[in-house]
Amino acid sequence: MSDFLTRIAAHKRAEVAAREAARPLPLVQAAAAAAAPPRAFHAALDGPPPRLIAEVKRASPARGALNLTLEPAALACTYAAAGAHALSVLTDEQFFHGSDADLVAARTAVALPVLRKDFVLTAYQVWEARALGADAVLLIVALLPERELGALQALAHDLGMAALVEVHTPEEAAVAAAVGARLIGINNRDLTTFQVDLGTTERIAPLLPPEATVISESGIQSAADVRRVLRAGARAVLVGEALVTAGEPAARVAELLGVAVP
């Protein structure tokens, strides 16, 4: 695990411990049971490619502040009206300036399914995601031993949510395949150097099970980038930075979705 991920994991474990002390698991489970039914995140990505997961993101460790004043509900409405198929909302505060409130606001504003994008390490966080109304959770292979990854994915499925299993090396791709991941995200950003290389999708997509839905993440800036990852085997793209920094996010969504399947 990189120093960056080690630091994230240590901070997140302390944060989750504090959350659980303030709001014990039985209360979160009750809130999850009372939450609106999950929306079909995986099904939203099953149509003709490219499928777009549009992200609500204020900042990132790699690029710093991107759009600190964005309004999650308004941006979600813009994405939905422009044709996005699903949303991703950053809820991590320490590293991405996100919040649980961002997810709630975005999901309430639209009918699209929503991914809670955070550093999920424990079952408590999966229950918490469902209690917030999330329809999917992100599980990063680099952060989780295989057994824990499989258990968290199973819990997400039991709660009616999708699990987006993220990889960025061939070895992690093998782990995702071993746990039977149905949605596999290939992160084009090296989490050690923060450098972006779309060749990561080209190298890893052929290694993944043919039945898995492959999503290319990070570094998608243009229609040419979308064409490139589709040729490699991706069916969907997850785009954040290019949308939240665009003067006209709706036009950028249209550009990314206007790509003919190669």
The series of mean pLDDT values per 10 residues for the chain, 262 residues long, is 86 96 98 98 95 94 82 98 97 95 98 98 98 98 97 98 97 98 96 90 97 97 96 97 95 89 60
217 catalytic per annotation: yes
CATH number of the domain encompassing residue 97 = 3.20.20.70
For residue 131, tell me if it sits in a domain.
yes
Report CA 185 to chain centroid distance, whole Å: 8
Q: Which of these is catalytic: 187, 188, 202, 216?
A: 187
- DSSP secondary structure letter of residue 196: B
For residue 147, tell me if it sits in a domain.
yes
For residue 135, tell me if it sits in a domain.
yes
For residue 253, tell me if it sits in a domain.
yes
For residue 75, tell me if it sits in a domain.
yes
146 catalytic per annotation: no
Q: Which of these is catalytic: 12, 88, 166, 172?
A: 166
Nearest partner of 214 among 238, 189, 250, judged by Cα: 238
Q: What is the DSSP string of 41-106?
A: HHHHTSSSSPEEEEEE-SEETTTEES-TT--HHHHHHHHHHHT-SEEEEE--STTT---HHHHHHH
67 catalytic per annotation: no
Q: Which of these is catalytic: 67, 188, 218, 241?
A: 218
Q: Which of these is catalytic: 128, 172, 202, 217?
A: 217
188 catalytic per annotation: no
Residue 61: per-residue pLDDT:
79
Exposure letters 143-179 (e unless 16+ CB within 10 A, then b): bbeeeebbebbebbeebebbbbbbbbbeebbebbbeb
Q: Which of these is catalytic: 55, 128, 172, 202?
A: 55
Structural domain span for residue 47: 3-257
117 catalytic per annotation: yes
166 catalytic per annotation: yes
Q: How many domains does the chain have?
A: 1
**Cα separation, 70 vs 16, whole angstroms:** 26
Residue 262: per-residue pLDDT:
60
Q: Which of these is catalytic: 60, 88, 117, 188?
A: 117
Question: How are beta strands 59-60 and 64-65 bridged, if at all?
Answer: antiparallel
For residue 262, tell me if it sits in a domain.
no
Residue 122: per-residue pLDDT:
98
Residue 241: per-residue pLDDT:
94
Residue 12: per-residue pLDDT:
95
71 catalytic per annotation: no
For residue 200, tell me if it sits in a domain.
yes
For residue 173, tell me if it sits in a domain.
yes
For residue 221, the SS3 value is coil
Torsion of CA 71, 239, 134, 214, to 10 degrees: 170
